[in-house]
Structure 1
Amino acid sequence: MLLDNSVKKLLNEAVKQLKGAAKRNFIAKTVVELGFGGQELAIKELGWTRYIIRKGIKELKTGITCIDNYSAKGRNKIEEKLPNLLNDIKDIVDSQSQIDPSFKSQRLYTRITASCVRKQLIEKYIYSNEELPTSETIRIKLNNLGYSLKRVAKVQPQKKLPETDAIFEQLAIVNKDADSDPSILRLSMDAKARVNVGSFDRGGKSRILTEASDHDFNPKTTLTPYGIFIPELDELFLYLTESKVTSDFIVDILSDFWESQRKRFAEVKTLVLNQDNGGENNSRRTQFMKRIIEFSQKYELNLRLAYYPPYHSKYNPIERTWAVLEKQWNGSILDEVETVLNFASNMEWKSKKPIVKLVNQTYQTGIKLTKKAMSKIENQIERLTDSNHESFPNLGNWFIDICFVKT
């Protein structure tokens, strides 16, 4: 048996007009009139609760009506008593972004705690101590208004070059062209901060009781994760090294990656490399440019180096994967190299596990080419000198093309 929609609407509207015993009496009589299975029908079709139905039927049969003690059901919300309270709380918190008297910053020198807000409500908004709720209630109201405690977000770059916006505009063009062309493969490359290997606390929490050294001195060794990420496929390749990350290391792992994956990308003729403009891989680093040209010639590939501007490397796609890796091993003791490798191998990015390798070679630092040798390198590359940007037509430090030339 199903009730007509108009009947259901009529019954529920009637119930809304009633309260307490009168409401239960109406519900009980309606269920009785529905006959056998009336309770289940009322629950399913009208959304009435079994508790109210049974209580109403019991009152109907016995003639004894329960008296509802509404005064014992709790107090009204404080904003019903003080209708301007929430707006006043918002005004207090939002006002903390005003300029200070010295005009050196945009914040007051006050920590906005719940007790501080309560104090300011009394001092500035003429509330009495008796009528205001406790600091704990103020804290709950702050959370409800969206002012819950949060860590300071690292979103403001330390510096911004005049050409930063122009670089990002050009990056958008280069990356979009790469992603839409099957003959071009875009790779995002970067290193993560070094990891101390030893019985050290890395923060985080664990379900297994672990004990760490009380000081992070004298690690057994340190490992630097370096990643190659394919944004289009959400695939990550991690290389960990105990050595310094040098120009030679970067190109060696790029070669290792391509040796293992080139058969999958037989149609690819060009690699776009998204990187930050770091010390070992920037376009003016002589050893890096020498090795990357050799890579191009060896594998008969065209290369396009597309760098993110300084202090903005966080926009490089691979940066998103580091948070997942950090979360994977936080709360654990990375006491051996094998432990680090195992944790890295078991992380997941978009339901895919990375391919992880340990690089055992030690790399020499400080290798440089002479100015004469670098001048030959410059003849084999093409730097962007027309970016279609009126203010910054020359972005040659950030966009470099290397074309494979048959000999």
Structure 2
Amino acid sequence: MLRLSMDAKARVKIGSFDRGGKSRDGAKADDHDYNPKTTVTPYGIFLPELDELFLYFTESKVTSDFIVDILEDFWLEQKHRFSDIQTLLLNQDNGPQNSSRRTQFMKLIVEFAHKHQVNIRLAYYPPYHSKYNPIERTWAILENHWNGSILDELETALKFASTMKWKGSHPVVKLVHKTYENGVKLTKKAMAQIEKQIERLTNSTHEVFPNLGNWFIDICCSKTKVI
């Protein structure tokens, strides 16, 4: 089983704005940030056991499609390293775009599992507990790294992200150019078909997490079941 910790950082305004820190080169920022050139959202995939970080930046919306697209990009490029892995454990908060009740997300993640013949366990953090998601620790490092610097261009933000270090290593940084829109939903009939392909562990008697079944969903596609 390979554990992936996933989440988005708050949107970042791009422009000559004060970020609250101290600049090493004495550069001065604008007093107000009313009209940014653009805004960008960093979304991370973190491998806690390996201390590896993959950062995807988007100027568009963070939607269900975006989340599964970057997961697929990650897996297509990295799966050769994990040929013995049959299950991906996805740690996420229970946000509006990746909730197990978000029909579009569940449709796409089920399609991903079947396409790549890999089991998926969705392991959500309950409300007010997302701070325990390991990816959250990396955002503090990124913020400290570019704090005090003027992110006046998108390329500047990407460069700062690529030069940060987590446990001595730089992250893999990518800019996603695709535009995403909210509001994609399945009909009740279509979602009923998705429900047949997943297992909600609400009534689980598993000795490790008997009271957390609401936050665990299994999608089994390989010959070996999720453990």
TM-score, scaled to structure 2: 0.94
**Mapped pair 1:304 → 2:121:** yes
Counterparts of 1:137-216 in structure 2, within 5 Å, are: 184-216=1-33
Task: Quote the Cα distance in structure 2 between the aligned partners of 1:303 and 1:359.
Answer: 24
Cα distance in structure 2, aligned partners of 1:330 and 1:388:
46
What's 1:364 paired with? Answer: 181
Do structure 1's residue 323 and structure 2's residue 140 form an aligned pair? yes
The 8 Å contact of residues 45 and 54 in structure 2, kept in 1 or not, is answered as yes
Q: Which of 45, 49, 57 lines up with 1:240 in the alignment? A: 57
Cα distance per residue 1:48-88 (max 9 Å; x no partner): xxxxxxxxxxxxxxxxxxxxxxxxxxxxxxxxxxxxxxxxx
* Structure 2 match to 1:176: none
How far residue 389 of structure 1 moved from its aligned partner, in angstroms, is 8.1
Query: What amino acid is aligned across from residue 279 of structure 1 in structure 2?
Result: P
Aligned residues: 222
What letter matches 2:45 in structure 1?
A: I
Residue 365 of structure 1 aligns with an amino acid whose one-letter code is N
Q: Distance in 2 between matches of 1:304 and 1:194?
A: 28
Unaligned runs of 5+ in 1: 1-183
Give distance in 2, aligned partners of 1:369 and 1:386: 25
Which of the two has greater helix per residue? Answer: 1
Aligned residues of 1:230 and 1:236 also touching (Cα < 8 A): yes
Q: What is the CA–CA distance in structure 2 between the aligned matches of 1:400 and 1:387, rounded to whole Å?
A: 11
Q: 1:380 aligns with which of 194, 197, 212?
A: 197
Structure 1 residues 235 and 405: alpha-carbon distance in aligned structure 2, compared to 1, 3 A threshold? closer
- 1:284 corresponds to 2:101: yes
The alignment yields a C-alpha RMSD, in angstroms, of: 1.6
Q: What residue identity is the alignment partner of 1:323?
A: A
Amino acid at match of 1:255: E
Whose strand fraction is larger, Structure 1's or Structure 2's?
A: 2
SS in 2 for 1:380: coil
Asked if 2 retains the 8 angstrom alpha-carbon contact of 1:384 and 1:394, the reply is no
Partner of 1:293 in structure 2? 110
State yes or no: 1:272 paired with 2:80.
no
- Greater Cα radius of gyration, structure 1 or 2: 1
Supply the distance in 1 between the matched residues of 2:206 and 2:197 (Cα, whole angstroms): 25
C-alpha displacement at 1:364, in angstroms?
1.4
Q: Which amino acid aligns with 1:303?
A: I
**Could you report, residue by residue, the CA deviation over 1:134-186 in whole angstroms, capped at 9, with x for unpaired residues?**
xxxxxxxxxxxxxxxxxxxxxxxxxxxxxxxxxxxxxxxxxxxxxxxxxx100
**Aligned counterpart, 1:347:** 164
Separation (CA, whole Å) in 1 of partners of 2:151 and 2:35: 14
Q: Residue 42 of structure 2 aligns with which residue? A: 225
Partner of 1:82: none
1:394 Cα deviation from its structure 2 partner:
6.6
**What SS does the corresponding residue of 1:272 show, helix, strand or coil?**
strand
Deviation for aligned residue 1:214: 1.1
Structure 2: gaps spanning 5 or more residues:
none
Q: Calculate the TM-score normalised by the size of structure 1.
A: 0.53
Q: 8 Å contact 2:204–2:213 — kept in the other structure?
A: no
Alpha-carbon distance in 2 for matches of 1:299, 1:320: 29
Deviation at 1:393, TM superposition (A): 5.4
Q: Percent identity?
A: 74
From 336, 339, 349, the equivalent of 2:153 is 336
